[in-house]
């Protein structure tokens, strides 16, 4: 039964990763660069301690202040720290990077459960600029108001 769950989760990761690569117009190892288009580059670094493994399927996203994705989300891959996104620029506003649990797969209760605080950046993002976000998964949960 456990092998079946692991196989199902692994299959879903591969499907989402493949779909993401096709939607983003990328090939493995090469980021999409649209010629003639002015782009802002977002670099999201996920700092997960080496001895910790995330349970469930996670995705890396960059969105605007309203939650609209500015580029296709990317599946989190264990061992991959840096994720690159592009948006046509220049852009003024707020951009939010987050590591979110996928809503397209079944959620398993895992020990420990992780919380990942999003990182916000507000300003004018220039063409050719790289905006860097750092995310730190944690087992510490926010206090209940």
3-state DSSP assignment of residue 133: strand
pLDDT (tens digit, 9 = 90+) per residue, 12-38? 444 444 444 334 433 333 344 444 479
CA distances for 52 relative to 7, 48, 70, 90, 113, angstroms: 20, 7, 29, 37, 11
Query: Is 126's pLDDT higher than 80?
Result: yes
**Domains along the sequence of the chain with CATH:** 2-135 (2.60.40.10)
pLDDT in tens, 87-102: 999 999 999 999 988 8
**Strand 91-101 to 130-135 pairing:** unpaired
């Amino acid at each position: 039964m456990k092998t079946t769950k692991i196989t199902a989760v692994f299959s879903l990761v591969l499907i989402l990763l493949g779909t993401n690569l096709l939607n983003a117009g990328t090939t493995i190892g090469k980021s999409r660069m649209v010629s003639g288009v002015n782009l802002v580059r977002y670099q999201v670094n996920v700092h997960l301690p080496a001895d910790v493994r995330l349970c469930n399927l996670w995705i890396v996203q960059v969105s605007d202040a309203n939650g609209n994705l500015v580029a296709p989300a990317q599946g989190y891959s264990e061992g991959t720290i840096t994720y690159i996104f592009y948006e046509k620029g220049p852009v003024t506003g707020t951009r939010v990077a987050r590591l979110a649990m996928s809503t397209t797969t079944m959620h398993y209760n895992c020990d420990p459960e992780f919380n990942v605080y999003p990182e916000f950046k507000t300003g004018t993002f220039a063409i050719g600029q790289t905006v860097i976000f750092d995310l730190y998964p944690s087992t510490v949960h926010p206090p209940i108001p």
